[in-house]
Amino acid sequence: MEKVLTKNIRPDLSYVDLNAYEMAGGYQGLRKALVMPPADVVETVKKSGLRGRGGAGFPTGMKWSFVPMAADTPRPKYIVCNADEMEPGTFKDRLLMEGDPHQLVEGMTVAAHAIQADVAYIFIRGEYYLSEERLKQAIAEAYQKNYLGKNILGSGFNLEMIVHMSGGRYMCGEETGLLNALEGKRANPRTKPPFPQVSGLFGKPTIVQNVETLCNLPHIVKNGPEWFKGLSYTQDAGTKIYGVSGKVKRPGLWELPMGTTVRELLEVHAGGMQDGVKFRGLLPGGASTDFLVEEHLDVKMDFTDVAKVGSRMGTGTMIILDDQTCPVGMVANLEHFFAQESCGWCTPCWSGLSWAEKALYALEDGKGEAADLDHLSFITKLCAPGNTFCALAPGAVEPLQSALKYFRADFERHVTEKRCPWRSR
Amino acid sequence: MTKFYVDNRLVEAPADQSLLQACLTLGYDLPYFCWHPAMGSVGACRQCAIKQYKDEKDERGRIVMSCMTPVAEGTRISISDPEAASFRASIIEGLMLNHPHDCPVCDEGGECHLQDMTVMTGHDYRRYRFNKRTFYNQHLGPFVHHEMNRCIQCYRCVRYYREYAGGRDFNQYVKGNTVYFGRQQEGVLESEFAGNLVEICPTGVFTDKTLRKHYTRKWDLQMAPSICVHCGIGCNTTPGERYGSLRRIVNRYNGDVNSYFLCDRGRFGYEFVNSPKRIRQPQLRKDGKLHPVTATAALDHLRPVLMSGKVIGIGSPRASLEGNFALRAMVGPERFFAGVADTEHRLTAAMLDALKNGPARTPSLHEVELSDAVLVLGEDVTQVAPLLALALRQSIRQKPFEEVEKLKIPLWLDHAVREAVQDQHGPLFIATPHATKLDDVATEICPAAPDDLARLGFAVAHELDGQLPVVSGLSDGVSALAARIAQALKGAKRPLVVAGPSLNSEPIIKAAASIAWALCRAGKPAGLSFTAPEANSFGLGLMDARPLREAFEAVRKGEAESVVILENDLYRRAPQSEIDELLNTAKHVIVLDSLMNRTASKAEVTLPAGTFAESDGTLVSSEGRAQRFFQVFVPQGDSQASWRWLRDAMLAAGQREAAAWKHFDHIVSALAEAIPALARAADAAPSAAFRAADSKIPREPHRYSGRTAIHAGVSVSEPKPPEDAEAPFTFTMEGYPDQPPPALVPFFWSPGWNSIQSVNKFQEEIAGPLRGGNPGVRLIEPGQGSGAPLAGNIPEAFSRRPGEWLMVPLYHIFGSEELSAEAPGVAELTPKPYLVLGSEDATALTLNDGGEAQVVVNGSRLSLPVRVRPDMPVGVAGLPVGLPVGEFCALPAWGRISKQ
């Protein structure tokens, strides 16, 4: 199995400096991209089938094609890296930023060239101070060797790159909330349309991409779209950094071909469940995805196949639910998080999630009523996509709606027994 | 117009609207919260959800927010779709999770948009059984009460306060279901427009604190259409009365004037009507003191005085056209004097002249909002004509809108527009002696002495038209600025010049007119907006009264023995010594006024004049718009409209022409006939004879309660309600139940719409004109002339004098206006008199901010605390005018300042 994104990452996670990165073939993708017309870079990425790794899986090349490229386009144009990795259970971008920061710098520069951006921002989760430190160092090194700055490698292309640390809100990871935060405003989501490609950061054309997405770019440009497609088991191209957390033997992250099955991830790479606990279900891609259960273990983890069974691959970092953990308690914990992180803008989100949180805690405390289950189910419909302003609430109710489906009996036991069966009396 | 389908009915709407706005215009009841007609759509509350279908065959459709979806040809939507209706009810359920069940004691009750929308959606059963979140409330000053537990997080308040009105001391805090709207710390709201929160808030978070202090249920108020009397803008208002006292003022929509908003002086200044200083009975001086007498006794006393001849009248810019006209008729036009300072008199004439004879039109406030390049010359607009400042704040968005339209973002999609625009704004140049509260959105400011401001103006005019005289001796900086201003005005589609009499400078007015006319000659539809200091300054100006100084002379020379003073404290118009002399020399001084003041206290006879709430009248705004206010309630005591007192006195003195003025309409016709400039004043509103379906219009809502009980303590038989022969209104709840003509709307109400949002149902188009046209008639339109270059004398450059400072007047929204200053809330916010000095001058005088300075100006010696403002030009100092304890002081004037 070919490692692409993680091949330079050292076992001790020490810093990979510019020299080491170049020795391993670094910045070759950028060199190649800079002599290509921007439109050709966009076309290459389109052909590669790369889909956004932040969770939504939007085709990257297509996203870029909406950026106005005419000579009279408003300037500056921006490329923004969404490194605000706040999704519970997700820690893949951290590995890439800490383990091989130049790869991200190169990827961003490739993307910036493709859309002819003038300024690049890396918006990093506030707690990721090591990522900040390493990216700042990598950027400084890149400036010195003219991988950044004016007239990059004599190509005539200019790019300034700036690291920005998040103030710390889940909403900052939402594409447009991030742009507001970057402008120094409250991280509420923005009206779409207009999309950021047309009116984004400071009202100018902007592309926002996830760390892992950007890191793929130098390799795609260097090795071509067909190579990239060939990395995958399925129709969704490339490799994917998968993760597993929960009561498994070896929780962690692995770069594997896109479309690796859930079972392989769980049983081979994560080493199976810890002794004495049994698998009950999993959230495939962070907290805001629907549960999958036993019957789904052979599903291929990619955007298309996971969607077919009623969930989303999301970030591809799974959280495992075992039989010794209360599913209601787990969902209560998640809804607490989402209710707390709701920006408070749209009614279904701020009212629905706070209600759901209270009802779930009531169930956990043995004070649940049968009607609460109906109310929870009602809230999941209230927060359906299209009903809310952004994707936070629809994502937030995904674990809840699927838990109500797969673990209904556990919810009902909380009501009938007037206690949480997992808690000792 | 675009055709689309609502519940399979083919309808039409303009394409540049959201579906919500279009549906409301079409009369559909579609609930909403976060959307506001003046502020557009942001998609927060999700209350206006509807179903949208792809085509005729699509039966499932999908839920969309009507406020976020544009009207498009062939769109098929459903409001009545059960899924959409049930979603809307669910949203109300969500909003109600935390909303307290305090409706019975809530001061929003009865006009609560949340109540209305709750009923509209049919949500009626509470399923949520957990605790509600609670908040601490803040003290926000004397006007706005804060009750955060009622908040439904619609974000209207913060959008209005910050984004629309430009306030900075109010924000949203926290997240989730605990978003807090308020100040970072308790304290008086800084915005002059904070009172609009009361109407912007769809429920009872922000309510009128002055009303709370003498609370009454909204449906128990007796109301009539009125006009604000606290500045020259002429905002339309709805005052409400109960038990003989005025309880509050709310906005009365007029799409050309104030649209949805009022300033805090206009909204909260009304309490002067209830002041203990009110004169409520005729008074006669006896043994050196004023004693109450009957009206008959007062008139008997006046008969010989008036019959003796040698009577002069002094009119008033705060009295109605009718009052001024009656006085003018009583004494004769040649013995009628303007009750304003002579400079103001001259400047008013100059402004009216410029508007009547030149080619530049004075725009309505709505048109001001649409201006795309503005020069403000010499006016601190926020303080002297607040709603004009609010309109200018919107005008700066016009230029960036052009870019937004290129991005194909609809202008009503408010946050998308603001995100695209960021902090860009169109040209707004502000040239005043000191910083103003509009400076934050100014392209450039130019603090300078009045003469230098005029010179800048003339320099701009010269830049626009090389034929106009060159201003000699300008610095390179000012010349370059003049060129930039001229460039911006020339490059605009609808340029506007704003000036006025605040600095008592005729050159400034001439320069402003000169710029606007030069633009007109260049083919631009330039606007020329003048501020007017008082509610009827322009009305009085159109009457050709003689200057006040000549009244002093007439009395001094013995040509006049008796002086009739109409609603005017002359001590605000001229130096004390001159007024003292006038009042002491005149044999008889007769004062008609509503509040006891220094002038009235020296009168031989005082007659109680009804305030705007107790009489009918016509005022001419700074737009030249004649607007009618109607009596709200029958006052206690003998107060009545001044024109009635004057008519009664004339009849007592045998002046038979007054016999024709039986009713209000008669005097309006008489003045329209006598004064050509006011010929159309009678058209300001329908006459008393107006009937709708043979009925008069009720001043009281049909829910008005307790009529039979109000007087039960006196007599159990219900007294006959007062008749009103003067206006087409009744003092009851009986009468025409439907929508009256726009000038006669006593309050906005529509079935199911009890809040001020019911104005939707009275508009031809949402946020457009009222059905039947916005009230008022414009009396001043541009002349036929092409605007020959205006010959104005360009003043010499300001040069500072050693040891002296040019004292310029400073204005305060709270305190500088006479009547509102008597309202307790306004009085609380009125500053004590002070002196403003620039940093350099303060240092030279070794005066610190807060230190005490001795000021000698116009012969008065004042001891005043110093406020140091870095922007004040060197050699210029500022003195606030009109504050209650301040003496009249003709400014600008040279004065001396010292530390000791």
Instruction: Report the amino acid identity of residue B341.
Output: A
The ipTM estimated for the assembled molecules is 0.96
Q: Is A365 exposed, middle or buried (0-12, 13-18, 19+ CB in 10 A)?
A: middle
Closest CA to A153 of A15, A5, A29, A4: A29
Q: H or E element: which one contains A419?
A: none
DSSP states of B581-612:
HHHHHSSEEEEEESB--TTGGG-SEEEEB--T
CA distance A203 to chain B (A): 4
> SS3 sequence, B309-332?
CCEEEECCCCCCHHHHHHHHHHHC
With CA atoms as reference, report the closest residue to B248 among B257, B258, B256, B238: B238
Q: Select the residue of B87, B94, B420 nearest A203 (Cβ to Cβ).
A: B420
Backbone φ and ψ of B507, nearest 5°: -55, -35
Shortest distance, CA A383 to any CA of chain B (angstroms):
10
Q: How far apart are CA B767 and CA B776, in angstroms?
A: 18
The pLDDT value given to residue B714? 84
With the C-alpha atoms ordered B811, B815, B819, B823, is the resulting torsion angle positive or negative? Answer: positive
Question: Contacts of residue B45 in chain A, CB cutoff 8 Å?
Answer: 346-347
CB count in 10 Å sphere of residue B874: 14
Cα–Cα distance measured from residue B574 to residue B580, given in angstroms and rounded to the nearest whole number: 10
Cross-strand pairs, B730: B698
Nearest CA-CA distance, residue B175 and chain A, Å: 5
Pinpoint the alpha helices (H) of B397-527: 398-406, 414-421, 450-464, 476-490, 506-521
Query: B660: part of which helix (H) or strand (E)?
Result: none
- Work out the angle between the directed axes of helices B82-96 and B113-121 (0-180°, nearest 10): 140
Cα-based angle A143, A149, A154 (whole degrees, multiple of 5): 100
Q: How would residue B885 be classed by pLDDT, with cut points 50, 70 and 90?
A: low
Location of structure tokens 């673990």: A407
For residue B93, the chain A residues in CB contact (below 8 A) are 351
Chain centre to alpha carbon of residue B194: 14
Residue A408 C-alpha, separation from nearest chain B C-alpha, in angstroms: 21
Q: B175 vs A341: CB contact, 8 Å cut-off?
A: yes
Q: What is the pLDDT of residues B194-229, one digit of tens each?
A: 999 999 999 999 999 999 999 999 999 999 999 999
Per-residue pLDDT, B785: 64
What residues of chain A lie within 8 A of the CB of B47, using their CB?
A: 347
DSSP letter at B361 equals: B
> How far is the CA of A17 from the CAs of A30, A102, A358, in angstroms?
17, 8, 49
Residues of chain A positioned with their CB less than 8 A from the CB of B49: 387
Q: How far apart are CA A115 and CA B73, in angstroms?
A: 34
| Closest by Cβ to A344, choosing from B95, B177, B415 | B177
Q: How far apart are CA B153 and CA B149, in angstroms?
A: 10
Question: Of A414, A44, A387, A5, which Cα lies nearest the Cα of A226?
Answer: A44
From the list A203, A340, A375, which residue is nearest B419 (CB)?
A203
Two structure tokens written together for B310: 């040698």
A183 vs B contacts (CB less than 8 Å): 422
Q: Identify the residue among A86, A336, A347, A415 best suited for mutation to test binding to B, counting B beta carbons within 10 A and taking the highest.
A: A347
> Is-contact A414 A421, C-beta < 8 A?
yes
Cis peptide bond N-terminal to B892, omega within 30: yes
Q: What is the mean pLDDT of residues B877-889?
A: 77
Q: Which one, of A210, A176, A196, lies nearest residue A316 by Cα? A: A210
| Nearest residue on chain B to A203, alpha-carbon basis | B420
Which residues of A are less than 8 Å from B46 in CB distance?
Answer: 346-348, 387-389
Q: Which of A183, A199, A343 sits opposite B409 (nearest CB)?
A: A199
Integer CA distances (angstroms), B245 to B211, B705, B724, B828, in order:
11, 16, 19, 21
Using one digit for the tens of pLDDT, what is the confidence trace for A6-65? 999 999 999 999 999 999 999 999 999 999 999 999 999 999 999 999 999 999 999 999
Question: Which pLDDT tens digit goes with each residue over B394-423?
Answer: 999 999 999 999 999 999 999 999 999 999
Q: What is the DSSP letter of A269?
A: I
Q: What is the pLDDT of residue B886?
A: 56
Residues B573, B552: Cα–Cα separation, whole Å: 12
Indicate yes or no: CB of A347 within 8 angstroms of CB of B95. Answer: yes
User: Which whole-number Å values give the CA distances from B204 to A125, B99, B100, B102, B162, in the listed order?
Assistant: 39, 10, 10, 10, 20
Count of C-beta atoms within a 10 Å radius of residue A382: 26
Q: Rounded to an integer, what distance in angstroms lies between the CA atom of residue A313 and that of residue A398?
A: 12
pTM of the model: 0.97
Dihedral sign computed on CA atoms, order B834, B835, B839, B845: negative
Q: Which residues contact B726 (CB under 8 A, 6 or more apart)?
A: B616, B631, B663, B664, B665, B688
Find the distance separating the first CA and the last CA of chain B, reported in whole Å: 72
Confidence of residue B900 (pLDDT cuts 50, 70, 90): confident
CA gap B400, B233 in Å, rounded: 27
- Beta partners for residue B709, in sequence order: none
On chain A, the residues whose CB falls within 8 A of the CB of B63 are: 386-387
Cα dihedral A23→A28→A29→A31 (10° resolution)? 150
pLDDT at B787 exceeding the cut of 70: no
CB contact under 8 A, B44 and A343: no
- Nearest-Cα distance to chain B for A347, in Å, is 5
CB B289 within 8 A of CB B847: no
Q: Which two tokens stand for residue A255?
A: 């770069």
CB distance B339 to B315 below 8 Å:
yes
- DSSP count for chain A of H helices, then E strands: 17, 8
Torsion of CA B855, B860, B864, B866, to 10 degrees: -40
pLDDT, position A202: 97
pLDDT tens over chain A, length 425 residues: 789 999 999 999 999 999 999 999 999 999 999 999 999 999 999 999 999 999 999 999 999 999 999 999 999 999 999 999 999 999 999 999 999 999 999 999 999 999 999 999 999 999 999 999 999 999 999 999 999 999 999 999 999 999 999 999 999 999 999 999 999 999 999 999 999 999 999 999 999 999 999 999 999 999 999 999 999 999 999 999 999 999 999 999 999 999 999 999 999 999 999 999 999 999 999 999 999 999 999 999 999 999 999 999 999 999 999 999 999 999 999 999 999 999 999 999 999 999 999 999 999 999 999 999 999 999 999 999 999 999 999 999 999 999 999 999 999 999 999 999 999 75
Please tell me the predicted confidence (pLDDT) of residue B428: 98
* Residue owning tokens 């991988």: A147
H-run or E-run covering A51: none
C-alpha B548/C-alpha A296 separation (Å) is 94
Q: B707: pLDDT confidence band, cut at 50, 70 and 90?
A: confident
Q: So what's the pLDDT on residue B791?
A: 59
